[in-house]
Amino acid sequence: MLYLPLCFLLQDVNDRWSLKYPQLYSPGQLNKFFSKNVFVRCVMRSCYTSLVLFFIPWAAMHDTVRDDGKDIANYQSFALLLQTTLLIVMSAQMFFDTYYWTAINQFFLWGSLAAYIAITFTFLSNGLFFTFPTSFFFIGE
């Protein structure tokens, strides 16, 4: 099959292009992109992925304690682990699904990971906790 840029699949083409590349319309006629089977598979995969991404971090944090005897399994730590796991898995999925690597792709894919890490370290730092203790009440528990 001829692989065309995504812009050809997202917009309608003129009559010359539709006659030159008739394979643009064959996936739609064969219901390859959206059908009941594709929808059910997508829902099942989404449910399975959601359960795995929730229960693996939950099992990893269940009944764990720090060196000083305090409980690690609080809401903030669990939420941070869960969202970090989700971001890594979704970024890996986008990396695997990207066919055309351009500078814009690189910027946004790597930039989203870098922005997440920077924002997470900024908001979970002790400096913000000591400056605004009422806003960041989870830190230091």
Quote the domain boundaries for residue 87. 14-131
Look at residue 136 in the predicted model and tell me its pLDDT. 66
Look at residue 11 in the predicted model and tell me its pLDDT. 56
Average pLDDT, the chain: 79
In a domain, residue 19? The reply is yes
In a domain, residue 120? The reply is yes
In a domain, residue 5? The reply is no
In a domain, residue 106? The reply is yes
pTM: 0.62
Residue 129 in this model has a pLDDT that exceeds 60: yes
Q: Do the Cβ atoms of 72 and 65 come closer than 8 Å?
A: yes
Buried b (16+ CB within 10 A) or exposed e, 56-91: ebeeebeeeeeeeeeeeeeeebbebbbeebeeeeee
**What is the domain count for the chain?**
1
In a domain, residue 100? The reply is yes
In terms of residues, how long is the chain?
141
The letter for the amino acid at 110 is W
Look at residue 111 in the predicted model and tell me its pLDDT. 93
Query: DSSP letter at 30?
Result: T
In a domain, residue 7? The reply is no
In a domain, residue 140? The reply is no
pLDDT tens-digit readout, 3-55: 445 544 555 667 777 778 777 777 777 777 777 888 899 899 999 999 999 99
In a domain, residue 136? The reply is no
Look at residue 43 in the predicted model and tell me its pLDDT. 92
